A and B are shown apart, each in its own frame.
Chain A
Amino acid sequence: MHDIRYDAIHDELIVPNQFAQAILTFRGGADGEEAPIRIIQGSRTQLKRPDRMDVDPIHNEIFVPNSGSILVFDREANGNVAPIRVIRGPSTQLSPRPPNAIAVDPVNNLIIVPSIVGDDQYQSILIFNRTDDGDVAPKAIIRGSRTGIIQLNQIQVYPPRGWIIATQPGPDDELLPGATFVGIWSIHDKGNVAPRWKIGGPKSTLKKPRGVALDPENKEIIVADMRLNAVLTYYFPEIF
């Protein structure tokens, strides 16, 4: 499992299960060998090795980056159900390779997803409208050398101030890649823009950050690092 989301409104955990081609929802207090309360799985779902997802607990939807598409399900979907919307087509500029991150902003009504665009070597950040459906162009793309993006791994959004927070672990095949960081952009950014802030470098301790979560109450950014096998917490009031 490479993603996990906590729905604070409904007190539920949601995880993608890549090998079972499923999205699993558990009680927030689940422990031990406890069955999920809902499973989205089956041929109608169009799920293809889902590895990432995000939940919008306000509009009750689950977003899953898929091969060349973004699938949107009802949050309470269970069983072999079709997505309620699918963003797919050449105008979307979504790469056939499934994006390895996604975040939904239910306040500003946006979907944030990294993807290779065209013949680029490295990823860009594509921003869609939350209710987009079909073959639609992204409303903005953050793309270019100043972004410092190679590939992003997990994304969070902070809707009250419109921030995109994303981990960059570097290339998959490098044990200790350089230029790893947690980058923060604005939802209003577009084009070749550097992150507004970067957490990285020797003092950060980070080696290969992959996961990121936010604790707004304590103004903290929580980062999971796969090389350290650790979870690091940074006090970062600037974005809260």
Chain B
Amino acid sequence: MPPSISVHSRTASGNTPPLRVITGPNTQLNWPASIAVESARGEIFVANDGGNSILVFRVTDQGNVAPTRVIKGPNTGISNPIGVSLDTLNNEVWVSNFGSHSVTVYPLAADGDTAPLRTIRAAPLGKKALGIGNPGGVAYDSKRKEILVPN
């Protein structure tokens, strides 16, 4: 199944078709991992994991449409984003980046290769972050004096 955004009626139940579907190569959707809707602006924000980007669509969009804005590029710090959240009080969009173990914050109207307003990370930029995520086990390499973590 190609990636898509399906919009259903709020009161839909059972085997009901969507009202609209956004899908197709023009959408740039690539492993969309998370979604947030800004109702006042009528916008859908998508954490586009495979595309290293945040895609913004109109809530009324359907079919093979291009996003109205794409936050993407080396200055953005976006790397495999898997979460997106909106702060409508301060007009900011928050992005969690699996690829760089960071959270980056942008203006709600950000577009293009925009640098983040702020970055939260467990290590300085350019340094390796810990990267431990949901560890289910651990071992100790007594030869190398190293802790092994299946991640």
Chain A bound to chain B: yes
Residues in A lying within 8 Å of B, measured CB to CB: 1-6, 8, 11, 13, 15, 28-29, 52, 153-154, 210-215, 217, 222-226, 229-231
Q: How far is the CA of A3 from the CA of B135 in the complex (A)?
A: 9
Q: Is the interface of B mostly helix, strand, loop or mixed?
A: loop
Q: Which of B130, B141, B144, B149 contacts A224 (CB 8 A)?
A: B149
**Given known A-B contacts A4-B148, A4-B149, A213-B147, A224 and B135 have beta carbons under 8 A apart:** yes
A1 touches B142 (CB 8 A): no
Q: How many residues of B contact A (CB 8 A)?
A: 19
A3 touches B144 (CB 8 A): no
Closest to B138 in A: A211
B134 touches A214 (CB 8 A): no
Beyond contacts A11-B143, A13-B139: 7 other A-B pairs, Cβ-Cβ < 8 A, are: A1-B150, A153-B136, A211-B136, A213-B140, A215-B140, A226-B135, A229-B133
Q: How far is the CA of A211 from the CA of B136 in the complex (A)?
A: 6
Task: Please provide the chain B residues from 66 to 122 with a CB less than 8 Å away from any CB of chain A in the complex.
Answer: none
Closest to B141 in A: A6
Any A CB within 8 A of the CB of B1: no
Q: Which of B130, B136, B138 contacts A222 (CB 8 A)?
A: B138
A226 touches B134 (CB 8 A): yes
A210 touches B142 (CB 8 A): no
A214 touches B138 (CB 8 A): no
Q: Which of B130, B134, B150 contacts A3 (CB 8 A)?
A: B150
A13 touches B137 (CB 8 A): no
**Given known A-B contacts A2-B150, A15-B150, A213 and B139 have beta carbons under 8 A apart:** yes
Closest to A169 in B: B136
A225 touches B139 (CB 8 A): no
CB distance from A54 to the nearest CB of B (A): 10
